Structure 1
Amino acid sequence: MEIKVLGTGCTKCKTLEDITRKAVEEKGVDATVEKVEDIMQIMTYGVMTTPALVIDGKVAIKGRVPSIDEIKDLL
């Protein structure tokens, strides 16, 4: 599974990255988590508000920080 956290480095973006990594660890999922900060790459996903979470190429969440349980459900 490939997971990308899209965000330019704001506090919410960092929080989403942290809880995503924790959710992957707690769930025991075989996944890579990558932080994408390049605005041009972010725009290729059609995301205009960050943070956003992309799972296997699909935008799952954008514009907010979900709970860790919500991320686990998406995994």
Structure 2
Amino acid sequence: MDIKVLGTGCANCKNTIALIEQVAREKGVPVTLTKVEELRDIMGYGVMSTPGVVVDGKVVHAGGVPSRTKVEQWIAA
């Protein structure tokens, strides 16, 4: 599973990465987690508010830290 977190490095971006790592570890699901910080690349996904989350090439979240339930659904899918 390929997950990208889109953001310039704010606290919410860091919290989103930590949450995804924690849930993946708890579920035993291997993920490739990439941080996308370049504004041009973030805009390329059509994300205007960060953090944004892209799972296997599809934008699934933008703006604010996602809920644990949401992250669990992405990991389980």
Q: Which TM bucket (shorter chain)?
A: over 0.9
- Tell me the CA shift for residue 23 of structure 1: 1.1
- Tell me the CA shift for residue 69 of structure 1: 2.5
**What value does the CA root-mean-square deviation take over the aligned residues?**
0.9
- Tell me the CA shift for residue 31 of structure 1: 1.3
Give 2:10's aligned amino acid. Answer: C
Counterpart in the other structure of 2:5: 5
Q: Which TM-score applies when normalising by structure 2?
A: 0.90
Number of aligned residues: 75
Give 1:49's aligned amino acid. Answer: S
The gaps in structure 2 that reach 5 residues or longer are none
Q: Which TM-score applies when normalising by structure 1?
A: 0.93
The gaps in structure 1 that reach 5 residues or longer are none
CA distance in 2, matches of 1:43, 1:56: 17
SS at match of 1:66: coil
CA distance in 2, matches of 1:61, 1:40: 18
